Amino acid sequence: MVVIGGGFGGIQAVAGLRKADVEVTLIDRRNFHLFQPLTYQVATGALSSGDVAYPLRAIFKSAENVRVLLADVTGFDLAGREVQLAPTPGVRSGPATVGYDTLIVAAGSSYSYFGHEDWRQYAYEVKTLESALAVRSKILRAFETAELSADPAEREAEMTFVIVGGGPTGVEMAGQIGELAGDTLRQDFRAIDPRQARVILVDGLDRILQTFPASLSAKATRSLRQLGVTTMTGQMVTGVDAEGVTISAKDGSTQRIASRTVIWAAGVTASGLAAQLGELAGAEVDRAGRLTVEADLTIAGHPEVLVLGDMVRVRDGHGTAVTLPGVAPAAIQEGHYAAKLIRDRLDGRGTKPFHYRNKGNVATIGRGRAVVDLKVVRLSGLPAWVVWLVVHLFYLIGFENRIVVLVRWSFSFFTHGRAARVIDDLRALGPGEGLPPEVPANRDGA
Of 193, 173, 192, 191, nearest in space to 183 by CA:
193
Instruction: Give the contacts of 165 (CB within 8 A, at least 6 positions apart).
Output: 202, 203, 264, 265, 266, 267
Catalytic center residues: 172
E-strand ranges in 168-323 read: 198-203, 229-233, 235-241, 244-249, 254-258, 261-264, 268-270, 291-293, 298-299, 302-307, 312-315, 321-322
d(CA 332, CA 41): 22
Tell me, yes or no, if the two domains 2-111+269-346 and 117-266 fold the same way.
Answer: yes
Mean pLDDT of the chain: 93
Domain extent listing, the chain: 2-111+269-346, 117-266
pLDDT higher than 50, residue 434: no
Q: Are 419 and 105 in contact (CB under 8 A)?
A: no
pLDDT at residue 341 greater than cutoff 90: yes
- Position 427 scores a pLDDT of 54
What CATH number is given for 117-266 in this structure? 3.50.50.100
Angle between helices 328-346 and 8-15 (to 10 degrees): 30
Q: CB-hemisphere CA count at 13 Å for 39?
A: 22
Handedness of CA 38, 40, 43, 44 (dihedral sign): negative
Candidates 445, 425, 417; CA nearest to 141 is 425
Cα–Cα distance for residue pair 427/237, rounded to 1 Å: 28
Q: Would you say residue 435 has pLDDT above 50?
A: no
- Which helix H or strand E contains 339, and what residues bound it? helix 328-346
CB-based burial label for 90 (10 Å; 0-12, 13-18, 19+) = exposed
Mean pLDDT for the stretch of residues 392-417: 92
C-alpha 173/C-alpha 444 separation (Å) is: 17
**Pairing verdict, β 97-99 and 321-322:** unpaired
Instruction: Please give the pLDDT value at position 437.
Output: 42
- Model confidence band, residue 267 (pLDDT cutoffs 50, 70, 90): confident
Model pLDDT for residues 89-100, shown as the tens digit of each residue = 889 888 999 999
Residues 6 or more apart whose CB falls under 8 angstroms from that of 354 comprise 295, 296, 297, 314, 333, 334, 337
pLDDT band at residue 436 under the 50/70/90 scheme: very low
Cα–Cα distance measured from residue 223 to residue 158, given in angstroms and rounded to the nearest whole number: 24
The closest of 95, 99, 100, 78 to 1, measured between CA atoms, is 100
Give bridge partners of residue 181 from the DSSP assignment.
none
Q: What's the rounded mean pLDDT across residues 283-295?
A: 95
C-alpha 338 chain-centroid distance? 22
**pLDDT tens digits, residue range 234-264?**
999 999 999 999 999 988 899 999 999 999 9
Taking the complete model, does pTM exceed 0.75, yes or no?
yes
Of 348, 349, 161, 173, give the one whose Cα is nearest residue 257.
161
Q: For position 306, what pLDDT does the model report?
A: 98
* 7, 128 contact by CB (below 8 A): no
CATH code of domain 2-111+269-346? 3.50.50.60
